């Protein structure tokens, strides 16, 4: 089947992945892959980690997804560790964390979108990670409560409070629970080894809601955050607020995706402890 997928991918690239022909053929091809895999998912390595995913998720998960970030995490995440994936989407990093922390490491995945959670749950089952992955169907922010999630299926640009105008087509709304990492970790008596945050501009709010946890685990906790400076205003944050918070926590942002200025350029950073 892997050879067939390679041929299909080459054909799609030659014709155009968004061409009329490919869009007409895609549903039938995905149904074929679903039947051929007996519902167990297709083999889909992510940054070299052997994974299985739903055929319909192929366009959501790039096989070299954020390659430099994955390389950093792969080098530093250890077997047996506890990793929190905040904004897990359909499991791009959950599945990789499953390999990097094997055989006994645990992953807690926070994802507020109900449609996305259903796909994430399926990917967890396909990869035999049910005993090691806990999916929390909630958003993470600075204050516990509820908020409106604007979403379009499993789009990675789904976000709270206002829709991302880059999302094509219809955007739906639903009420979701918002948790803080402080409350969650304290209630569950957790000491995570790594926290990965990617929540479309609300990362500063999430860090505000994790201050006690970060101070408690100072020096021992690894932290990787995707910064969306262009969206901070929507989440009620500013550049000054972000800089003050990071400094107060004793962290230094190290760009992982080639940003020149982490406070104005979109990208992922390693928030390293400033000893």
Q: Which residue ranges form the domains of the chain, and what is each CATH number?
A: 64-273 (3.40.50.150)
What is the structure's pLDDT at 275? 76
Q: DSSP letter string over 184-238?
A: HHHHHT---SEEEE--TT-HHHHHHTTHHHHHHTTTT-EEEEEE-GGGTTTTT--
Q: Please state, in angstroms and rounded to a whole number, the distance separating the CA atoms of residues 131 and 187.
A: 20
**Residue 154 — pLDDT band, cuts 50, 70, 90?**
confident
**Alpha-carbon dihedral sign for residues 107, 112, 115, 118:** positive
pLDDT tens readout for residues 158-178: 777 666 656 666 678 899 999
Burial class (CB in 10 A: 0-12, 13-18, 19+), 28: exposed
Identify the residue with better confidence: 76 or 22.
76
Q: Is the pLDDT of residue 80 over 80?
A: yes
**Residue 34 — pLDDT band, cuts 50, 70, 90?**
low
**Residue 261 — pLDDT band, cuts 50, 70, 90?**
very high
Mean pLDDT to the nearest integer, 86-104? 97
Mean pLDDT to the nearest integer, 31-53? 80
Q: Is the pLDDT of residue 3 over 70?
A: no
Mean pLDDT to the nearest integer, 89-115? 97
What is the structure's pLDDT at 36? 59
Q: Please state, in angstroms and rounded to a whole number, the distance separating the CA atoms of residues 93 and 50.
A: 12
Residue that the structure tokens 């999916």 belong to: 135
Please report how the helices 20-36 and 2-15 are oriented relative to each other, as an axis angle in degrees rounded to 10.
170
pLDDT tens readout for residues 187-238: 999 999 999 999 988 999 999 999 999 999 999 999 999 999 998 888 889 9
Q: What is the distance, to the nearest Å, from the Cα of residue 65 to the centroid of all Cα atoms in its chain?
A: 11
Burial class (CB in 10 A: 0-12, 13-18, 19+), 206: buried
Q: Please state, in angstroms and rounded to a whole number, the distance separating the CA atoms of residues 253 and 268.
A: 9
Mean pLDDT to the nearest integer, 118-134? 97
Mean pLDDT to the nearest integer, 109-125? 96
Mean pLDDT to the nearest integer, 146-158? 78
Q: Please state, in angstroms and rounded to a whole number, the distance separating the CA atoms of residues 89 and 151.
A: 12
Query: Cβ(251)–Cβ(223) under 8 Å?
Result: yes
Q: Please state, in angstroms and rounded to a whole number, the distance separating the CA atoms of residues 118 and 111.
A: 10
Q: Is the pTM of this model over 0.95?
A: no
Mean pLDDT to the nearest integer, 246-251? 96
What is the structure's pLDDT at 221? 98
What is the structure's pLDDT at 41? 84
What is the structure's pLDDT at 12? 60
| 214, 220, 222, 225 alpha-carbon torsion, rounded to 10° | 20
Query: Cβ(42)–Cβ(55) under 8 Å?
Result: yes
Q: Is the pLDDT of residue 30 over 90?
A: no
User: In the structure encoding, which two tokens stand for residue 72, read together?
Assistant: 């950093």
**Residue 267 — pLDDT band, cuts 50, 70, 90?**
very high
Question: Nearest Cα to 69, choosing from 273, 223, 243?
Answer: 223
Identify the residue with better confidence: 33 or 193.
193
């Amino acid at each position: 089947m892997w050879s067939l997928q390679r041929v299909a991918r080459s054909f799609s690239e030659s014709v155009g992945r968004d061409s009329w022909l490919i869009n007409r053929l895609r549903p039938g091809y995905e149904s074929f892959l679903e039947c051929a895999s007996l519902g167990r998912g297709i083999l889909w390595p992510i940054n070299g980690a052997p994974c299985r995913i739903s055929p319909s998720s192929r366009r959501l998960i790039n096989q070299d997804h954020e390659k430099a970030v994955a390389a950093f995490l792969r080098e530093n995440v250890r077997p047996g560790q506890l990793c929190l994936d905040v904004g897990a989407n359909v499991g791009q990093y959950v599945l990789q964390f499953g390999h990097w922390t094997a055989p006994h490491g645990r992953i807690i995945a926070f994802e507020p979108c109900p449609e996305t959670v259903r796909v994430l749950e399926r990917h967890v089952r396909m990869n035999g990670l049910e005993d090691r992955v806990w999916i929390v169907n909630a958003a993470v922010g600075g204050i516990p409560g509820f908020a409106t999630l604007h979403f379009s299926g499993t789009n990675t640009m789904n976000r709270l409070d206002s829709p991302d105008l880059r999302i094509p087509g219809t955007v739906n709304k639903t009420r979701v629970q918002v948790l803080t990492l402080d409350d969650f970790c304290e209630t569950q008596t957790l000491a995570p080894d790594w926290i990965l945050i990617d929540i479309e501009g609300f990362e500063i709010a999430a860090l505000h809601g994790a201050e006690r946890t970060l101070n408690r685990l100072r020096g021992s906790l690894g932290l990787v955050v995707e910064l969306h400076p262009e969206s901070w205003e929507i989440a009620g944050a500013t550049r000054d607020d972000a800089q003050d918070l990071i400094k107060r926590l004793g962290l230094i942002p190290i760009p992982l995706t080639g940003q020149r200025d982490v406070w104005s350029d979109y990208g992922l950073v390693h928030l390293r402890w400033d000893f």
